[in-house]
């Protein structure tokens, strides 16, 4: 069961995305692609390139004819190739295939003598070598023909099997695909790298009892074959990379369709899905139309008779996949029930569809040449999953939520010294490929595009993208192709004429070829109005990176006397370590840099500016400061405190304005910051309680506006914010939140429905305050639930039970080999079981002592459970007990032993951090808010350069003395 362990690891990253940063593709889904390779020997030579494939596959599900086994397939492939330079060897890919026969012919049909008639998939390279007796002629075409057999995989990769239960409870099997980044080779021999684009003619011989197969292209021809099978041949694909091929052999039906003969769009799912495809169809059609207008390249012109399909697959490793013409999704990210799915899933479905639709242009039509520049695919997908969806559904607040969910999250990932750059020419091996499917590639890349849009202006940005797509369509691209297109558009429009010779090529290279991002320190002389700014690379745990760095930083700013948060065109570009500017006034007033946080950097101010900002934010006119910037201030301050650049009592004084704040972005940033602080005070119950009291006090305004119960007809963002806020406040101990959850849960037991947006926190806190009988009722509901969005919500809440036998029932289900919890959902369930209550870690530890063998069998490894337990232990006695058990069971734990030891050390470091920083919290708890006075007499007339030096020195001193072991 190593496969379940692999997907458990993948899911850990994914569930983090569910709670903080919606991610359309789990960033660690490439783990097994990353296991062993570390040099360019794994890359295919460029001596031979494919032109077209003719592929025929015959899959067998749970029943198979004589001489075949269930869950296998037979196949044939014919590949027309061009020899680019003379060679006596053709190298392509295959993996877990049995090559029965292989021949090489000229296009006239003459056989080319080969060195051998025996062929195997050479591991670990996944190479299939075809050696010829004599050299092949350059610029000539040849045809590789092969028959083979393979296995339907069990790990949601390659050509794999999945299942669901029909309305009678019977298991129904299907076969589906997930080929990115390198798994087409598990379905047929091929040149399985993105640069090798070709045309594909695909035929599937399916069981006649199934519904028609769905694939990239519509069916061209259907004909009966022997043994009760139907042969379906599909229209030729566009010229495309192998990772974009897809087909689903099943009894799926089109549960929604637009009934448009010229622009067909269909939603496919299991028959029991009902009308849950309606929202995805409406959103998909709308977003596809918007993207056609935006790019000026019609989707339906990309290939003859191309259509658009979206399919919901019961077991799916990724969040979704952009296969050309057939977008595949986890059920929870496509099927929406108006009566039972919450706002989080509604917006999630909309932005995942936006991501995959955008990929039809950025990724499919124009593809990254190799994974070192994956951001050319994924940054655009991530960017447009918000801004395309914003155009299609502005009520869902995607523009605001990009800042909270993408920019902020990627800044955190990018603020460690081990972060990788967007572009890395050394990405040849699967280990480095894996690293590039990351928050940095997706979200930082998207943030770079957003920053560039503000720099160029909307019209020039769009013009550049259209130039890029037109120049590289049906081909691959490198970053310089994009930069050149932007610079061409900028030259035509004069978009960069005010920035001292800056080009997109030079500016973007500094951001894409170097990891990290800057902290901008600002000091303003309140008497002269002269300001000074400097940049240095930010590090999240100390504030001081070991790496130097200078970026071309687009600087926008506004001030209290001339407020303008609308014009996002940079005032200037900081190209040196430091510079000066003139604020425009000579009396005390605040200044704010990075309007609407369009730039990818943090901002720290001098003492006086923070005092002025504190006053403004606590004032009734605080809303003149843009919501994004109020949220930026919250996020920056919490991060400054984490690193020790500012003390917690200092930042809490500024953040006291939260008691008046009632909007989405500032409070989502506050929840993130408070949760980090709560996790660090978890080792001191008394101090944690005082922090919780502070939080409850500061949440009065937002609670007063939203209330605890869903309001019919309220703005979408209010419902989404309340759902997040109540999950947080119930954890903090809000008595009304807890009593509302308990009462609503009991009403549910008595037959009343719960608003979908309330279910996550009502389920959890109903169980937390409930009995074993409450859990039994809840668990039986889960076992009979088929709506995927509800399944995940229930799994995330199940661990909230405080009844130990009930928790053990849940843990046993997670590791059960009958997949009571699907592999794709194991991480959600396991995180819930171990972390939902403080007591759960030790309860799970006790369970693990007697169930280690079951865990190893069911999940393949105990590493994730061990890591989660170690991360939630609360004192040295618990840590010592756990360490002793790890040592005694080291042989049975395997690699999980090292995971546990490292996690224990991390917890001890966190405990030490808490001890050293606790006085900062208690200082504020004891004294509360203080109205600070300006310190004007200390200012000089030079713009504050001396102050900057003092600030920098103080920052370094505080960092080194306070955070050595944080």
Task: Report the 10 Å Cβ neighbour count for 91.
Answer: 18
Q: Pick the catalytic residue: 232, 331, 356, 539?
A: 356
What's the burial of 118, exposed, middle or buried (CB within 10 Å: 0-12/13-18/19+)? exposed
CA distance 868 to 848: 12
Task: Report the 10 Å Cβ neighbour count for 350.
Answer: 27
CA distance 397 to 718: 10
Instruction: Output the CA angle 124-129-133, nearest 5 degrees.
Output: 155
CA distances from 636 to 295, 326, 521, 540, 605 (A): 36, 41, 12, 11, 11
**Sign of the CA dihedral running 705, 709, 715, 717:** positive
Nearest to 72 by CA among 98, 94, 92: 98
CA distance 568 to 846: 56
Structure tokens that stand for 319 in this block: 């969040």
For residue 343, say whether it is annotated as part of any ligand binding site.
Answer: no
CA distance 355 to 103: 41
For residue 378, say whether it is annotated as part of any ligand binding site.
Answer: yes
**Sequence-ordered list of residues with C-beta below 8 angstroms from that of 381, at least 6 positions apart, any chain:** 24, 322, 355, 356, 358, 359, 362, 363, 442
Q: Contact, 708 vs 738, CB < 8 A? A: no
Nearest to 289 by CA among 246, 258, 320: 258
Structure tokens that stand for 890 in this block: 């080291």
Burial 801-822 (b: 16+ CB within 10 A, else e): bbbeebbbbbbebbbeeeeebb
**Sequence-ordered list of residues with C-beta below 8 angstroms from that of 754, at least 6 positions apart, any chain:** 744, 745, 747, 748, 762
Q: Contact, 77 vs 141, CB < 8 A? A: no
Structure tokens that stand for 376 in this block: 């050319």
Task: Report the 10 Å Cβ neighbour count for 61.
Answer: 22
Structure tokens that stand for 574 in this block: 């900081």
Instruction: Verify whether residue 735 is a known catalytic residue.
Output: no
**Sequence-ordered list of residues with C-beta below 8 angstroms from that of 795, at least 6 positions apart, any chain:** 782, 821, 825, 828, 829, 832
What letter would DSSP give residue 403? I
Burial 722-741 (b: 16+ CB within 10 A, else e): bbbbbbbbbbbebeebbebb
For residue 547, say whether it is annotated as part of any ligand binding site.
Answer: no
Residue tagged 């006596």 (tokens): 88
Helix-strand-coil percent breakdown of the chain, rounded to 5?
50, 20, 35
What angle do the packed helices 479-493 and 445-456 form, to 10 degrees? 20
Task: Report the 10 Å Cβ neighbour count for 938.
Answer: 10
CA distance 33 to 28: 10
User: What residues are annotated to the active site?
Assistant: 356
Residues tagged in the binding site annotation for Zn(2+): 355, 359, 378
């Amino acid at each position: 069961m190593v496969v379940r362990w692999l997907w458990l690891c993948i899911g850990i990253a994914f569930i983090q995305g569910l709670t903080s940063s919606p991610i359309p593709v789990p960033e660690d889904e490439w783990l097994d692609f990353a296991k062993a390779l570390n040099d360019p020997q794994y890359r295919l030579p460029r001596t031979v390139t494919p032109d077209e494939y003719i592929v025929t596959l015959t899959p067998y599900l749970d029943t198979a004819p004589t001489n075949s086994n269930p869950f296998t397939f037979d196949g044939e492939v014919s590949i027309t190739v061009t020899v680019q330079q003379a060679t006596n060897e053709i190298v392509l890919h295959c993996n877990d295939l049995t090559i029965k026969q292989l021949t090489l012919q000229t296009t006239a049909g003459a056989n080319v003598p080969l060195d051998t008639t025996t062929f195997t998939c050479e591991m670990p390279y996944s190479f299939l070598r075809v050696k010829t007796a004599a050299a092949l002629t350059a610029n000539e075409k040849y045809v590789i023909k092969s028959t083979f057999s393979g296995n339907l995989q069990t790990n949601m990769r390659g050509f794999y099997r999945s299942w669901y239960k029909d309305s009678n409870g019977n298991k129904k099997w299907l076969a589906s695909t997930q080929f990115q980044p390198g798994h087409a080779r598990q379905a047929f021999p091929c040149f399985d790298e993105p640069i090798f684009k070709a045309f594909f003619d695909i035929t599937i011989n399916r069981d006649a009892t199934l519904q028609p197969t769905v694939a990239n292209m519509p069916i061209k021809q259907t004909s009966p074959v022997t043994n009760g099978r139907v042969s379906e041949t599909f229209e030729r694909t566009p010229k495309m990379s192998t990772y974009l091929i897809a087909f689903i052999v099943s009894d799926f039906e089109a549960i929604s369709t637009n009934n448009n003969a010229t622009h067909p769009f269909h939603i496919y799912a299991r028959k029991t899905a009902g009308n849950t495809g309606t929202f995805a169809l409406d959103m998909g059609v709308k977003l596809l139309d918007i993207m056609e207008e935006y790019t000026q390249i019609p989707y339906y012109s990309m290939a003859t008779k191309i259509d658009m399909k979206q399919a919901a697959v019961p077991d799916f490793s990724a969040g979704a996949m952009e296969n050309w013409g057939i977008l595949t999704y986890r059920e929870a990210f496509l099927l929406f029930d108006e009566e039972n799915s919450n706002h989080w899933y509604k917006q999630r479905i909309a932005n995942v569809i936006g991501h995959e639709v955008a990929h039809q242009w950025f990724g499919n039509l124009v593809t990254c040449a190799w994974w070192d520049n994956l951001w050319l695919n994924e940054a655009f997908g991530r960017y447009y999953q918000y801004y395309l969806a914003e155009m299609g559904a502005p009520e869902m607040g995607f523009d605001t939520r990009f800042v909270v969910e993408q920019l902020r999250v990627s800044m955190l990932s990018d603020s460690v010294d081990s972060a990788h750059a967007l572009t890395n020419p050394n990405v040849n091996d699967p280990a480095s490929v894996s690293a590039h499917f990351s928050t940095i590639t997706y979200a930082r890349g998207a943030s770079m595009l957003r920053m560039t849009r503000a720099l160029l202006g909307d019209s020039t940005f769009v013009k550049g993208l259209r130039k890029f797509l037109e120049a590289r369509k049906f081909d691959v691209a490198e970053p310089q192709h994009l930069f050149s297109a932007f610079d061409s558009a900028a030259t035509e429009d004069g978009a960069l004429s005010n920035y001292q010779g800056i080009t997109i090529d030079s500016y973007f290279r500094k951001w894409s070829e170097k990891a990290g991002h800057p902290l901008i320190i600002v000091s303003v002389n309140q008497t002269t109005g002269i300001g000074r700014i400097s940049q240095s690379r930010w590090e999240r745990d100390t504030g001081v990176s070991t790496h130097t760095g200078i970026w071309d930083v687009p600087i926008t700013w506004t001030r209290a006397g001339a407020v303008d948060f609308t014009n996002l065109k940079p005032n200037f570009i900081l190209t040196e370590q430091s510079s000066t500017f003139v604020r425009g006034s000579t009396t005390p007033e605040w200044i704010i840099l990075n309007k609407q946080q369009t730039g990818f950097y943090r901002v720290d101010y001098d003492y006086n500016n923070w005092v002025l900002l504190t006053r403004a934010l606590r004032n009734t006119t605080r809303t003149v400061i843009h919501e994004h910037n109020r949220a930026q201030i919250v996020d920056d301050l919490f991060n400054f405190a984490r690193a020790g650049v500012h003390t917690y009592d200092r930042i809490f004084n500024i953040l006291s304005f939260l008691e008046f704040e009632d909007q989405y972005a500032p409070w989502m940033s506050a929840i993130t910051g408070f949760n980090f602080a709560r996790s660090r005070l978890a080792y001191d119950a008394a101090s944690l309680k005082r922090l919780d009291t502070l939080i409850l006090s500061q949440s009065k305004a937002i609670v007063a506006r939203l209330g605890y119960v869903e309001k019919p007809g309220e703005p979408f963002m209010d419902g989404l914010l309340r759902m997040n806020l109540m999950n947080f406040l119930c954890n903090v101990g809000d008595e009304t939140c807890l009593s509302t959850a308990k009462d609503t849960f009991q009403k549910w037991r008595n037959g009343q429905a719960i608003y979908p947006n309330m279910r996550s926190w009502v389920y959890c806190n109903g169980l937390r305050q409930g009995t074993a009988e409450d859990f039994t009722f809840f668990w039986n509901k889960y076992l009979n639930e088929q709506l995927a969005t509800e399944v995940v919500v229930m799994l995330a809440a199940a661990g909230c039970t405080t009844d130990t036998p009930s928790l053990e029932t849940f843990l046993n289900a997670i590791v059960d080999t009958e997949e009571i919890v699907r592999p794709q959902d194991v991480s959600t369930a396991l995180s819930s079981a171990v972390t939902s209550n403080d007591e759960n870690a030790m309860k799970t530890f006790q369970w693990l002592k007697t169930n280690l063998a079951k865990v190893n069998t069911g999940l393949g490894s105990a590493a994730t459970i061990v890591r989660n337990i170690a991360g939630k232990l609360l004192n040295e006695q618990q840590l010592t007990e756990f360490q002793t058990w790890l040592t005694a069971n080291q042989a049975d734990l395997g690699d999980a032993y090292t995971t546990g030891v490292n996690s224990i050390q991390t917890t001890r470091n966190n405990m030490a951090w808490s001890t050293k920083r606790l006085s900062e919290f208690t200082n504020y708890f004891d004294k509360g808010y203080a109205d600070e006075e300006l310190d004007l007499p200390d200012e000089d007339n030079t713009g504050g350069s001396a102050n900057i030096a003092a600030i920098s020195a103080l920052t370094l001193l505080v960092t080194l003395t306070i955070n050595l072991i944080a």
